[in-house]
Each structure stands twice: as C-alpha cells, then as structure tokens.
Amino acid sequence: MDTGTLVAERYRLDAMIASGGMGAVWRAFDSYLERTVAVKILHAALADRDSSHRFAREARILAGLKGPGLVDVYDYGETVEGGRPVRYIVMELIEGRTLTGLLEEHGRLAPEEAMRYVAAVAEALDAAHERGVVHRDIKPGNLLIEPDGSPRLVDFGISLDENRSRLTSPNGILGTPSYVSPEQLNGRKVCRFADFYSLGAVAYECLSGRPPFASDDPLDTVHMHLYEEPPSLPPEIPGRVGEVVARCLKKNPKERWPTGSELAAACRAAVEPVAVPAQRTGETRPTPPAATEELGGRERRRGRKSLLLAGLVPVLIAVLVAVVWRPWVGTAVGSDESLEHPAPASDFVSSSVVPGGAGIEPSPVDEATDPPGADQTLEPAADSTEVAPVEPAPEPDEPTAAPPATGAELPDVIGMEADDAEQHLTSLGYTRVAVAPTLLPEPGARTGGCNIVSQNPDGGEWVEYDRKVTISYFGLKDCP
C-alpha cells in the first residue's frame, strides 16, 4: 500500500505507523466522519484462509472488549485495491509510542513508573480475560504509551478465544521468544496465566533493562524459559516490587497471580510509601529512607540500653537488700549469740544507708497480721525444715516407628519410552510426574519416537515425592 491510497473509498492512508506479523498499521483519515483513525491492513502475503479468518476474528474480539487500556474498533471490511484483496480494521488512533521506544530512549524505568504501567495493563487484561480472551503476545512492542503516561494494549492478532475453537494447531508455538510463557513452549494448555508470565517478563525488562531470558540462540531462550530461574533484579529494586515480578514468572501457571485485578493491586501496593504513626497528632506520614535509618539506629540503641538496665536492676536490688538487712551488724563474727538472739526486726530497717542515719524511717510492724516474734528467726528451726519429695524418674518413652520417607534419589529415565518412564517414576512414589514435549534435548540424546531426552530435576538428585518431576521428549508430537 502507498501513502495517499483511499481504502474502501473512505479511508485515506497518510503514514505508516508500525508493521507487525499480521499487518501494517497506518495513520489514516476517515473522509466520511472527518476524523483521524488507525487502519490496520493484513499483509498481502497472508492471503490464506486461516490468516484471513484470524484477522477477522481479531476485529471481532477487539470490538467486543471495553475498558481502560484497550482500543476501540470502528470498522472492519474487505475490498479490492490494485487488483488484489485488501482486508482492514479501522481503530481508534492512539497518539503515543511503544514501550520498546521508551525503553530504548530512557533505559531502565523507575520502579514506580514500571509498576504503574504493569498495573494498567493487568487491568486491561482482566477485562479481556473476563470475556474469555487470552492475548498470548504481551511484549513492549504491543504496549502504546500515551502522552499522559497511560498504556494501551494492542495487537490481539494471535489471541486465543477460550469460548471458540482454535484457529491454530494446539501444538503451534505463537508469541515472542523473550516473553513467551513455558506452557506456550511445551504445548500445554494456554490460559490467562500465560499473559501474566509475559507481563512479568515485560516488568523485569523495565526494571533491569533486559528481558529475564534472552539469547542469540532461540533454543537457549526456550530452555531458560522452561528450566531456569531469572537472574536477580538490580539490588536497588525494592523487595516488594521484586516479589510481584517473581510471582508473575513462576514456571507453574497456578503459582502466578490469579487475576489481573489482584496483580494490579499488588503492583500499586509494592511502591506505596510505608507509613508510620506521627508524634502527638495520631496521623501517619511516610518516613523517608534517611529518617528510617536514623529511627532504626535509635531503636537499636534504646534496645541495648534496655538490656543493660535489665541486667543491672537485679544487682542493685541485691546490694540494697544486703545494705538494709545488714546481718553482720551488732554481733561479732563467729559469735553464737548472732544465731540465738538476733536483732529485732525493726533494727533491720536501718538508716545506715545514708551516712549519719538520716533519710529513712523504720517501718512499723503490723501486729494484727505479724505477732511479736514472728519475724525474729533468721533461719528456720531444725524441725521445720521441709524436704521436697523426690519425683520418680519418668518411664522411658516407648520406641516409635521411623517416620515415612519423604523422598528418594531420582532415577535417570533419559532414553526410556515416555509411557514407561512415567509409570516407573509413579511406582517409586513420585506423585507429580509431568510428561511434556521439548525443543531442546540433552546433547547426544536419541530424538526418535517418544524417548525421554531430558528431565527436571536431574537423575541422581534427592527429590521429594510430592515435588513436580518433568520428563520431556523431543518435538511437539502427541506421545502417551
């Protein structure tokens, strides 16, 4: 198509905006309604029946989706230009640029900005998922950032409508390698969780400047998505932000965020400042990092003082009792009289704490409750000594049976038939054995038939019986 072409005698193509796998997007002018629109035209090379149906389905899907972060569809049609068929979708024109361009210009984004984008896209996905639509190609190039900073989700060309039959083979791998989910790679069922994985990969790139898994060799990228954990985010990224992204990138789809709205809420909470009670006002205010460090230092110093006082208090009490009691005062050391005729109780409350005997008054004896002589004995009489009964030694516990084993050394099943390998592992007690296709066999592995070419965890490793064990055969064929 050329600039100035009038499509369907109505839409004048003014300038190409972008070109993707399914078609090219043009800035155009609607001569009927006299407004600027975006026109997406299917590539001429994709004139086959499946591509045409997929393009028409994209128009229907977009027309049925409403909500923030999505694009309105105005028209769809087929016409003939220059002797060839032309299929087009007319959409709302978004004035902005892709997230790819933004990252190329600015590099890494601040956590607050990245989480704002992810939250908005997650809510747009929530609206699509509620209609049974899975995007399947979330990537920076499909996110348009408007001048006010609002992201829009575009290009539902390879989306999956869960309420309709597939237009692509169940074993087809669609998506962009750096952002595609593990289940899209191994031929498993794809649902909304795949979009959260891809969005997590986009978030990771916004925060670190690179996708979590990327290699010059596409097969290496596939292997990393299936079996490896992403590298750590830069240390300056807040921990709560890292936790949100890490949950998006879980290999097991059910361990990711359950809905887009919950993911959006987590993104916003992850960058909210932590509030602490304000002094005397009862209000809360965010504490800057420097103040937080200073507050932590004061708390640590206060804690050390409290521990020191806690240790000194018993010592001070013991010294005070010893000074007040003064059992050595009034009788020569070693005199028998010191035991037989102790000083009256009133003398034990002495003013000798202060030189000169001033400052402390003796406490009167309450005769109603303490008759004379009740406190006159410093040590108990010989016949009043009580001996604590000796408790019998407890009977030894009965021997108990050893707890059941929770795991064992995982056998190496590479080379076995998929069905035999699965039955063998199950018979040993492993309860979560998954058989999956792979595009990356072990070096030197036999790739014919349904022989297992890789396994995770590796053979010889101690593995819990309830841990997931994935055994893979080569290719995307249907093996038992």
| pLDDT at residue 200 in the model | 98
Same domain flag for 129 and 242 = yes
Same domain flag for 126 and 267 = yes
Distance, CA of 15 to CA of 4 (rounded, Å): 8
Same domain flag for 114 and 254 = yes
Is 144 a member of any domain?
yes
Is 33 a member of any domain?
yes
Same domain flag for 134 and 226 = yes
Return the active site residues.
137
Domain boundary among the residues 272, 290, 315 is at 272
Same domain flag for 138 and 245 = yes
Q: Which residues, other chains included, contact 397 with Cβ-Cβ below 8 Å and sequence gap of 6+?
A: none
CA-based torsion, 115, 118, 124, 128: positive or negative: negative
Same domain flag for 149 and 30 = no
Provide φ and ψ at 24, rounded to 5°.
-110, 145
What single DSSP character describes residue 344?
P
Domains in the chain, number: 3
Distance, CA of 445 to CA of 171 (rounded, Å): 22
Q: The CATH number of the domain where 59 resides is what?
A: 3.30.200.20
- The boundaries of the domain holding residue 200 are 97-272
Domain boundary among the residues 63, 91, 119 is at 91
Is 460 a member of any domain?
yes
3-class SS of residue 239: helix
Is 356 a member of any domain?
no
Residues 157 and 55: beta-carbon distance below 8 Å: yes
| pLDDT at residue 174 in the model | 56
Amino acid at 285: R
Is 390 a member of any domain?
no
Domain boundary among the residues 58, 91, 124 is at 91
| pLDDT at residue 453 in the model | 84
Q: The tokens 């155009």 sit on which residue?
A: 28
Is 199 a member of any domain?
yes
Distance, CA of 57 to CA of 39 (rounded, Å): 16
Is 241 a member of any domain?
yes
Same domain flag for 33 and 147 = no
Is 347 a member of any domain?
no
Provide φ and ψ at 438, rounded to 5°.
-145, 155
Q: Which residues, other chains included, contact 222 with Cβ-Cβ below 8 Å and sequence gap of 6+?
A: 177, 185, 438, 439, 440
| pLDDT at residue 54 in the model | 81
Tell how strand 407-409 and strand 433-438 pair up: unpaired
Q: The CATH number of the domain where 126 resides is what?
A: 1.10.510.10
Local mean pLDDT, 10-residue blocks, the chain (480 residues): 91 91 91 96 84 84 87 92 89 93 94 97 95 91 94 78 41 70 87 96 97 90 93 96 98 96 97 66 50 48 52 55 48 40 41 40 43 42 45 53 78 86 88 81 62 87 90 70
